Structure 1
């Protein structure tokens, strides 16, 4: 049987060979025939976005929740430049995805949309893979997918438009990826680390996004030591239900948990880069022994250098530490026997009081935590409001939580919520966004969620201002009016785009909105009207 086909068909078939069944994107001159073949010849699903950057963000969220490579496609020139922020977000988040990007024809160097796409992609930190010739397409696609997995970042496959109708011999090319567990800690530094842990009277186990797969082993180590458990923001929800889980470590901790961390004498860190928010710019790590375990050497020593650094697999290392503690008959620390976990996990309660025409944000979050579906996937945009959301809205597990702040941007949340919704059919997706973020990136893709019929609940915190800047003007006793905006009604916009929209200006209206969630059909947006002078400060 002949495998002769056109180049664009071979690209589509190669994606299908790698198990791809969903592709996000926008069609243009250099990718439209490939998309058509992916749908008609390969039985794939194509999800058209309203903006090219949105398609990359959707693929990133899809990859995170589904646990596989996300795939998006755009055409050349301005289509790719529109993806720069999204690609950088994926790089900083270590998310494996492939962007099938068209390029202008090789034979047309003065093409209107011509740009050095390699240099553009390099600026984001993403990887670049060039289709070398029509006949190498299967190998080049395979290389892009391989690199996305082993490098844990987006890889852009660059496809010149004038290759699309060339005839090629399609070959199935899928490169094996080494998936065995990482290295086992051993040697003198391991001995030093175990000595620090064994002598600690108040040890604490901290897990980051790189240790999510080691949950059971880390719990076993914590139980053996009688040490409390904590996570970074990226691993939020990892230890849910454990009796000594103090939740998020660092500037997002409760006041009591922050004090507990300050009193501990040894922090054993797994799969976390220990950035400045986790360590509160180093303050939480002073006067303590720090043991850091990570399979990625570059993750160690970036913010502060630990007393013992182990480049090794988190789960295997935790098992090794438990083994040697048992062999040496080291007694448990007894630290958890002193703890009142209810006090350690209690954030200050909201008053429920607000000026006329507004609701209290903390009170609204407390009610939303009670009323939102428990099996939710939680997505958060960036901005002033999100730190309270991270602290007060729970998630079932880290895979059900997406925080779109790897690059510190706002305006990325709705797009990732769409990708999350398609990767978790049957589960509701809850997005929290500020008003500025929703105006920047949410409006154009809310209709995408409507077209797809997603079970999406959007909470827009609307203080009619760019809040982070607003508070800085107030702190310096300056006029904040340049940060204030008279936005349109977001609830009205949601209705005009085909969804359900509810405006909330009082506690009574909040209860009405929460009751409406019980009978929702398709995307619904709840607009919380907030007083810009009465919003909790960011916890940084």
Structure 2
């Protein structure tokens, strides 16, 4: 093949990995590569308003599609603007390739120069260096390979002075065996089956690492007569199953929490057993724990199970079921007298809503029925979020995006856009707080408008940083420093090209939901809340 410019070769190498969508922001170190990706490789470039926003969009795209998300930024401050997003991606185990420009190698005193390798290392993301014009295809292939195998963002560092150099190009794709299909065997498997067979009150818990094993896990649960529960990130996995008790842990209903306490054996598929899932170990006390995961680092993070199986969830569930049948083990009977309606009904507290505000829980209950059911549900960070997780349903885990890996706020709208690009035929519903929207949402709402996304943003506006507001009140201190007089978010949404609606009552909310039915383009619904009436986070 004739030689071509490095910026063209990078674009071609990315396209060779069947990438058709790239998010990000252009600068002098990546603009020609982006241009080539769009004009010569028939790719789509989704421009963000802020570099970290582009990375978050790529992360949500990866989450809902199961593909590698791709983003690009230029050098220096563009990379420093991605640090929170990269950390969120690492915590969420999301395969993303960030094509990051770098300042020219022959100008170490460049104004925007910074040690990008050391910067990226602080986030936990991986780093690949574009070594030379001649190694472009292999360097890009390595970045994609690592993103898939290591399940984290990989930053490919691209020196700006390479871009207009010429080199040969031969596309390379490194095959990744993403479904190893490991089957548990040996003494540990025997011990695990013994614990499960002897359990009188077994319960099955599934996390995001088990979402492809839904049918096999349900078959095992039915055989054991065991209730099913999920972690937050696997929300919706067991929808419509008669013994699905929904989210396990601090987000469960009081009745479900009590049931979890009664269990004597918990079989955990694809979950690292986060502190919030186990209620800091309380829900695992005095129980036999069997943990199955393909990722060794997921085992023993907070507590060590009685039997740990580094194995595929689906194959292991089928193996356990086979040996239970061979041994003619009877069902436990644990599900026979369960009232699933009671177990999944979240309580409603007393209303103390001030005049001119809407009760948050009542609003959520109404929106659960009024908003489109085939939605992708996304949430930003804040005290409002746990009630959303508990009261708003999703079709399945791929339709749920929660930006909670790093405990940050201000990441939700960016990920909602990424999900909207991945699912152009589905409505995306984002719940954000007022502080989170001001921090990260306001600068990307117009991006959604420009893209013409079917996006419904619901802002829980209590005019405060809620978690801090509660802490001041708990200490009997003046909370005024945590309170803010924001502009009208509804007016801002309209000014940015969308449809903004302010809601202070149930009648106004019903009218807003009527407008949702005839929506065209992004909508922003501002719920005016009383900061003293928003439930505490369930953690």
TM-score tier, shorter chain, comes to over 0.9
Query: 1:230-309 alignment to 2 at 5 Å?
Result: 230-309=229-308
Tell me how far 1:3 sits from its aligned partner.
3.7
Q: How does 1:55-94 map to 2 (within 5 A)?
A: 55-94=54-93
Q: Distance in 2 between matches of 1:286 and 1:352?
A: 35
The match for 1:172 is: 171
Is residue 353–residue 359 contact of structure 1 (8 Å, CA) maintained in 2?
Answer: no
- Measured in 2, the distance between the counterparts of 1:362 and 1:126 equals 38
Give 1:172 deviation, angstroms: 1.1
Give runs of aligned pairs for residues 371-386 of structure 1, distance below 5 A: 371-386=370-385
Does the 8 Å contact 1:231/1:249 carry over to 2? yes
The answer to whether the Cα contact below 8 Å between 1:55 and 1:415 also exists between their aligned partners in 2 is yes
Aligned equivalents of 2:516, 2:2: Cα separation in 1:
52
The 5-angstrom pairing of residues 150-161 of structure 1 reads: 150-161=149-160
- Aligned residue for 2:444, secondary structure, equals helix
Alpha-carbon distance in 2 for matches of 1:484, 1:448: 28
Provide the rounded CA distance (Å) in 1 between the counterparts of 2:364 and 2:416.
19
Cα contact 1:88–1:124 (8 A) shared by 2? yes
Tell me if structure 1 keeps the 8 A contact 2:61–2:69: yes
1:350–1:363 Cα contact (<8 Å) kept: no
- Per-residue Cα deviation, 1:425-472 (whole angstroms, up to 9, x for no partner): 110000000000000000000000000000000000000000000001
The answer for unaligned runs of 5 or more in structure 2 is none
SS in 1 for 2:62: helix
Q: CA offset at residue 528 of structure 1?
A: 0.4
Describe the superposition over 1:189-216 as per-residue Cα deviations: whole angstroms up to 9, x where unpaired. 1111111101111000000011111100
Runs of 4+ in 1 over 4 A off after TM superposition: 350-353
Give the equivalent residue in structure 2 for 1:339: 338
1:513 aligns with 2:498: no
| Residues 352 and 359, structure 1, Cα contact 8 Å, conserved in 2 | no
> Shift of residue 66 of structure 1?
1.5
State how 1:71-470 maps to structure 2 within 5 Å.
Answer: 71-349=70-348, 354-470=353-469
> What's the CA shift string for 1:220-260, capped at 9, x where partnerless?
00000000000000000000000000000000000100000
d(CA) in 1 for partners of 2:511 and 2:401? 28
Residues 520/324 of structure 1: CA separation in 2 closer, same or farther (3 Å cut): same
Aligned-CA RMSD value: 0.8
Residue 182 of structure 1 and its aligned partner are, at CA, apart by 2.9
Q: How many residues align?
A: 539
The 1-side partners of 2:298 and 2:316 are apart by 16
Find the residue that maps to 1:337 and give its secondary structure: coil
Task: Deviation per CA, 1:144-203: give whole Å up to 9, x if none.
Answer: 011111111000000000000000111110111113433111111111111110111100
Given that 1:261 and 1:284 are in contact with CA atoms closer than 8 Å, whether structure 2 keeps it comes out as yes
Contact 1:289–1:307 under 8 Å retained in 2: yes
C-alpha contact 2:148 2:178 (8 A) present in aligned 1: no
Q: CA–CA distance in 2 between the matches of 1:516 and 1:137?
A: 50
**For 2:251 and 2:293, how far apart are their aligned partners in 1?**
23
TM-score, scaled relative to structure 2: 0.99
Partner Cα separation in structure 1 for residue 66 and residue 388 of structure 2: 24
Counterpart CA distance in 2 for 1:3 and 1:80 is 33
Aligned to 1:336, what secondary structure does the other structure show? coil
Following the alignment from structure 2 to structure 1, what is the Cα–Cα distance between the partners of residues 507 and 350? 15
Change (3 A) 1:3 1:336: farther
Is residue 430–residue 457 contact of structure 2 (8 Å, CA) maintained in 1?
yes
**Helix, strand or coil: the match of 1:100?**
strand
Give the structure 2 partner of residue 490 of structure 1.
489
The alpha carbon displacement at 1:361 in A equals 0.4
Which ranges of structure 1 fall in alignment gaps of 5 or more residues?
Answer: none
In 2, Cα distance between the equivalents of 1:51 and 1:94?
22
CA distance in 1, matches of 2:504, 2:463: 13
Q: Tell me how far 1:351 sits from its aligned partner.
A: 5.9
SS in 1 for 2:457: strand
Contact 1:206 1:231 in 2 (8 A): yes
Per-residue displacement from partner, 1:13-33 (whole Å, max 9, x unpaired)? 111111111111111110010
Superposition map of 1:31-70 within 5 A: 31-70=30-69
How far apart, CA to CA, are the structure 1 residues paired with 2:120 and 2:347?
Answer: 44
Structure 1 residue matching 2:335: 3-state secondary structure: helix
Residues 113-152 of structure 1, C-alpha deviations (whole Å, 9 max, x = no match): 0000000000000000001111101110011011111111
- Aligned-pair distance for 1:111? 0.3
User: Could you list the per-position Cα deviations for residues 44-82 of structure 1 after superposition, in whole angstroms to 9, with x for gaps in the alignment?
Assistant: 111110000000000000111121010000000000000
For residues 330 and 48 of structure 1, what CA distance do their matches in structure 2 show? 58
| Structure 1 Cα separation of the partners of residues 461 and 386 of structure 2 | 15
Following TM superposition, by how much is the alpha carbon of 1:375 offset from its aligned partner in structure 2, in angstroms? 0.5
